[in-house]
Structure 1
Amino acid sequence: METKPGCFENIQFFILRTIINLMSLIPPESYGFLSGIIGRLWLRIDKRHAKIALENMWSAYGMSLPEKDILDLRERHFIQFARLLFDIPRIFRLKKSNLDDFVLFEGTYNLQKAFESNKGVMLITAHMGNWELMAVSVPIRFGKSLNVIARPLDYEPMGRIANELREISGNRVLNKYDAGGIMRRLLAGRESVGILLDQKASGSQAVDVPFLGRPALTNKVAALLALRYDACVVPAFNYRMPDGRYRVIFDKPVKLTKSGDTSADIIDNTRRFNQIIEKHVRAAPENWFWTHRRWRH
Structure 2
Amino acid sequence: MKKVSLKYRLEYIAVRVFMAIFRVLGRKNAAGFGAWLARKIGPRMSVHQLARENMKTALPHLTGREVDESLMQMWGNLGRNVGEIPFNREILSDTETVEIVGEEYLKDYSESGKAAFFVTAHYGPWELVGLIGRRLGARATGIYRAANNPLVEAYFQAMRADPNYSFVPKGAEGARTIVKAARNGGAIVLLNDQKLNTGVAVPFFGQDAMTAPAVAEIAIKKNVPVYPMRAERLEGGRRRLTIYPALEISRSGDRKVDVYALLKEINEIYEQWITERPDHWFWVHNRWS
Cross-structure match for 1:163: 157
- The one of 221, 224, 227 equivalent to 1:231 is 224
Q: State how far apart, in whole Å, the 1-side matches of 2:34 and 2:169 are.
A: 31
SS at structure 2 position matched to 1:100: coil
Residue 30 (1) aligns with residue 25 (2)? no
> Unpaired segments of 5 or more residues in structure 2?
none
Letter in 1 for 2:197: S
Q: State how far apart, in whole Å, the 1-side matches of 2:269 and 2:115 are.
A: 20
RMSD between aligned residues: 2.5
Cross-structure match for 1:259: 252
Q: How does 1:251-290 map to 2 (within 5 A)?
A: 251-290=244-283
SS at structure 1 position matched to 2:80: helix
Structure 1 residues 22 and 170: CA distance shift in structure 2, 3 A: farther
Q: State how far apart, in whole Å, the 2-side matches of 1:19 and 1:41 are.
A: 16
The aligned length equals 286
Cross-structure match for 1:114: 109
Task: Show CA shifts across 1:33-52 (max 9, x none).
Answer: 52453132113321x11101
Task: Show CA shifts across 1:73-92 (max 9, x none).
Answer: 11111111111122222114
CA contact (8 A) 1:235 1:252 kept: yes
Instruction: Give how far 1:12 is off.
Output: 8.4
Cross-structure match for 1:55: 53
Letter in 1 for 2:81: L
CA contact (8 A) 2:51 2:283 kept: yes
Q: State how far apart, in whole Å, the 2-side matches of 1:181 and 1:92 are.
A: 27
- The one of 70, 73, 89 equivalent to 1:73 is 70
Q: Which moved more, 1:24-33 or 1:282-291?
A: 24-33
Structure 1 residues 29 and 192: CA distance shift in structure 2, 3 A: closer
CA contact (8 A) 1:198 1:218 kept: yes
Structure 1 residues 221 and 142: CA distance shift in structure 2, 3 A: closer
Instruction: Give how far 1:251 is off.
Output: 0.6
> Unpaired segments of 5 or more residues in structure 1?
none
TM-score normalised per structure 1: 0.87
Instruction: Give how far 1:112 is off.
Output: 1.9
Q: State how far apart, in whole Å, the 2-side matches of 1:271 and 1:265 are.
A: 10
Structure 1 residues 95 and 105: CA distance shift in structure 2, 3 A: closer
Q: Percent identity?
A: 22
